[in-house]
Amino acid sequence: MRKYARRGAWWVAGVVAVAVVLAAAALTGRPPAVLAAAARTGPAPAAPVLTGRALVTPAPFTHSAVDWTGSTTIVAGLDNAGDLYYWWEPAGSSTFHRELVATGLDVSGAPALGWTGSTVIIAAANGNQVDYWYQYAGTQPWHEQPVATAAAGTTWGPATIGWTGSSVIIAAVDNNTNGNEADLYYWYEPAGTATWNQQLVSTSARDSWAYGPSIGWTGSTVIISVTDYYGWVDYWYQDAGTQPWHEQQLIPLTYGAPSFYGTSIAWTGSSVVIAATNFFGGLYYWYEPAGTTTWHEQYVGQDAAPVGYPAIAWTGSSVVIATMNAGSLDFWWQAAGTTPWHEEQVAALGTSSPGPSMIAAPAAVLITVPDANGNLDLWWQLYGTTPWGEQEVAAG
């Protein structure tokens, strides 16, 4: 990021509070949790219990997810033995603490990671079941719930997770095909309950099965992006307290054929934003301002050999997108109110990872992705600076 235009209010308010921490980080090379310290505060998870389960040696990592609690960087990772791990690194530290969440999973795609303000939440497709794990801040055990179980012979694609302020929300696509079709499901569990409520959103999500949908929350509406059996990107939304799901189809106007396969969705505070890649190497971006029904399209750029799905986030002043391109981790950003997209190479990883995970913390963008050796890496960049910092979360 060469320079972000119009920094958010959090930056102005937090710059004095983080100045000392930032100076220390510049001298010590500490990771982004340090750089974001004091921007917000919140409880950190408890230290891991080093039991025999927790000391299992990880196999090479295949997928990851990253999030920010307000005081701690949290990461989930899946290795090729089907073991699900969780790491956390408090602000001011340079050490990730590891916990083993589950072993021997038949997981499709990346785990989904989130934070409710008091609880770490994880969802993953496990064979014919969608599973959910949660851990209260300051406690040790991980609690597990089955969200949904499909009929024999039917499995789930990757799950996505979110938090509305009052409910945990999850979406996933099954592979119970009828012709070219598959089913997109949505579940929600209100805080303080232990019951998952299921809704069938769509029966035309076939192309998204291998990569999964993406879910978000605007403050009043649940939003989902997914690819359908035509290869187009579909947008679904449901206003809080209502039943029907509403659909809009995003058909590109500027380049190539459809055949989209990976999407990511986010909310800027005033617009829904979606990124998607297609099989021809095209990276697209759409935005729809709140209160309108018109999608505005931008062709972001052409990758030589895109792999998997993009990740999209909002920094408070810019939309940012991360992609994998022929073994290269690439980063795109666009300042609010401007039109050019700017591209940077984060690192040449030489990996076929299906996609990165990204979060915009108060002071830095954080990205996780496994490298070519199966190690799980964290990449970070302070807003307004150009170098990308790297930290190994775990060796695989």
Please write the tens of the pLDDT for every residue from 224-252. Answer: 999 888 888 999 999 998 989 999 999 77
pLDDT higher than threshold 90 for residue 393: yes
Q: How confident is the model at residue 314 (pLDDT cuts 50, 70, 90)?
A: very high
Whose CA is closest to 316, among 20, 87, 68, 113?
Answer: 68
Task: List, in sequence order, every residue forming a beta bridge with 297; answer none if it has no partner.
Answer: 286
CA distance 40 to 301: 34
Domain segments of the chain as ranges: 9-394
> Please, which pLDDT band fits residue 354 given cuts at 50, 70 and 90?
confident
Q: Give the pLDDT confidence of 43-87 residue by residue, as tens digits.
A: 444 444 333 344 567 889 999 999 999 999 999 999 999 999 999
Tokens read off for 15? 């710059």
Measured between alpha carbons, how far is 63 from 101 in angstroms, rounded to an integer? Answer: 15
Is residue 279 predicted with pLDDT exceeding 70? yes
Token duo for residue 122: 């994880």
DSSP-assigned states of every residue in 7-46: --HHHHHHHHHHHHHHHHHHHHT--HHHHTTTSS--PPPP
How far apart (Å, rounded) are the C-alpha atoms in residues 126 and 111? 10
Tokens of 387: 């170098």
The pLDDT value recorded for residue 179 is 59
Three-class DSSP category at 207: helix
Secondary-structure percent of the chain, ordered helix, strand, coil, rounded to 5: 5, 50, 45
Question: Across the chain, what does the average pLDDT equal?
Answer: 83
- Give the Cα separation of 349 and 351 in Å (integer): 5
- This prediction's pTM: 0.86
Express each pLDDT in 3-20 by its tens digit: 323 222 222 223 323 332
Q: Which CATH number fits domain 9-394: 3.90.79.10, 2.130.10.10, 3.40.1190.20, 2.60.40.10?
A: 2.130.10.10
pLDDT of the residue at 327? 84
pLDDT tens digits for range 201-228: 998 877 677 788 999 999 999 999 998 8
pLDDT value for 44: 43
